[in-house]
Structure 1
Amino acid sequence: MRRNNFKDLLMCLKGLDQELVRGSVMGERFKELFFANCKDEAICSYVKGLLGE
């Protein structure tokens, strides 16, 4: 059980319905706040891909 629940955030995001995740990151001011504070390049790239950037 522990092994199944301790995945990195990127794996968790990729395991979710991508349309749901895309809808979540399209929110007002998300890009401004997220990209100003994101410290993980892999997650940043993933979110850029979702946003079509």
Structure 2
Amino acid sequence: MSRTYRLPLSKLKAAQRALGAATATEAIERALDLAVFQRELVDGTRAMLGVDITSPDLGP
């Protein structure tokens, strides 16, 4: 589904450079992927609170 959004060109170009994206569409898609990944990290971290984590025994 195609939509139109009004985004500041300077912000879009800055995101494109920061993300190494070749196009504005790629920059937007990568930024959205990062937002979803950030939420997954936060949710995973919250789920791990109170869980004891020990180092694996790597042996001799």
Structure with bigger helix share is 1
Rg larger for: 2
Q: Same fold per TM (> 0.5)? A: no
Could you state the TM-score of these two structures normalised by the residue count of structure 2? 0.28
Could you state the TM-score of these two structures normalised by the residue count of structure 1? 0.30
| Larger relative contact order (CA 8 Å, sep ≥ 6) | 1
